[in-house]
Each structure stands twice: as structure tokens, then as C-alpha cells.
Amino acid sequence: MKAVVFFSGKFGSTKKYAYWINERTGFPVYDINKEKPDPSKYDLIVLGSSIIASKPTIQKWLKAHWPVIENKQVLLFTVSGTEPGHPDLQKWLTDSLSQSILEKVHYVPLRGRLVLQELPWWIRLMMKVASRTEKDPQIKKRMAEGFDYMDKSSIDPILKWIDDTVEEEHLELGESQLVW
């Protein structure tokens, strides 16, 4: 069995999580915005996506490749400033992905990092303007000041899913693919 991590990120948090998963599993990592690997070659697929403007950045890729991967073991993790369990996360996914996709993928929401000083000026300006109209004081603060919720232990549910899936499906990964 072959396993892989595909990701689409914007500001670096999703990429960081993808490579933390790689460190623990040995799975190859591909940035789908820069590389075009063939997902049909893999049996277990971990997808990572930033949430930007209330949409997963991997949405178009996932919809385009769904016919090829729908019968594979797929986990989707998203990265944003929004707390796992917040109703906005579910709304963003249901607004962006079909029910048939959502029923088949295992989902893990993660929190990321946003360092405003590292953003292009026009994005900083948009964040500042948007923060003025935001009613929720916590969201308003995150938009105005940035945030850093990155934590390596956040990938533990992903690693557990990988372990459980390999065991349940009686899959065999090569030694180089499981290094924990």
C-alpha cells in the first residue's frame, strides 16, 4: 500500500502540518499548487487545506480528483484560526464540498498561524477593513492582530486515524512509511 500527503496552503501553516505528518510517517508530501502527482497511485491519502475566505483552498482539486480517489481511504485536515468544533467550519465545508465527498472523508480541523507582518500589504489592508465590520470580538482580534495556534501535537488525531485505518483495512505500509 502506498500513502501520501497532498496539501494546498496560503500562509505556511498547512505546509508545516503536512511536513510534521511526513516526519512521523515518511509519507511523501506534495504541494498541489506546484506539483501534479497522480493520486490514483495511492491507497491512503491525507489532504491538507487552508481555509481562506470561508473556503478550503483544496476544494477545486478535490472535486476534480474525487472520481479517482473516492474509493480510497481519505482524510482531510483544514487549517484556520477558527476553533475546532465551531459551527462556521461545518458551514464552510458543506457550502464548498458535495455531500458525497463529506460522507466519505475523515475530517480533522486544525488551527494555524497568521503573522500579519508577513502578509502582502493588500491582504493586511483587507484584514484590517474586515476586522472593523466583524461583530465577534475574538474573531475581530485575530483579524486585527494575527494569531499563532500551531502545535505539533495537533496532528495526533491524524496519526491515530492512519494507525486505525491501516489496522482495520489490513493494509501494509512499507517500513519507510511508518517511522513512529
User: Whole-angstrom distance between the N-terminal and C-terminal Cα of the chain?
Assistant: 17
Q: Are residues 108 and 119 in the same domain?
A: no
Pair 83, 144 in one domain: no
Range of the domain at 80: 3-112+150-177
* Whether residue 108 sits in one domain with residue 129: no
Predicted local confidence at residue 171, as pLDDT? 59
| pLDDT band (50, 70, 90) for residue 101 | very high
**75 lies in the same domain as 123:** no
Same domain? For 75 and 160 the reply is yes
| Side-chain-side CA neighbours of residue 170 (13 Å) | 0
pLDDT in tens, 40-94: 999 999 999 999 888 999 999 999 999 999 999 999 999 998 989 999 999 999 9
The answer on 120 and 65 residing in a single domain is no
CATH number at residue 74: 3.40.50.360
Specify whether the CB–CB gap between 110 and 72 falls below 8 A. no
Is 93 found in the same domain as 9? Answer: yes
Q: How many CB atoms lie within 10 A of CB 132?
A: 9
Indicate the pTM of the whole model.
0.88
Query: Band of the pLDDT at 180, cuts 50, 70, 90?
Result: very low
Who wins on pLDDT, 10 or 177? 10
Query: For strand 73-80 and strand 55-56, is the pairing parallel, antiparallel, or unpaired?
Result: unpaired
Q: What pLDDT, on the 0 to 100 scale, is given for residue 118?
A: 86
CB atoms within 10 A of CB 146: 18
For residue 176, is pLDDT > 70?
A: no
**Statement: residue 175 has pLDDT above 50:** no
Same domain, 45 and 78: yes
Q: Which spans in 26-155 are helix H?
A: 59-69, 87-96, 99-104, 121-133, 137-145
Interval 127-164: pLDDT, tens: 888 888 888 888 888 888 888 999 999 999 999 999 99
- Please tell me whether residues 82 and 138 are part of one structural domain: no
- Number of structural domains (the chain) is 2
Residue 35 and residue 99 in one domain: yes
Q: What CA–CA distance (Å, rounded) separates 136 from 155? A: 28
Q: Give the pLDDT score at 166.
A: 87
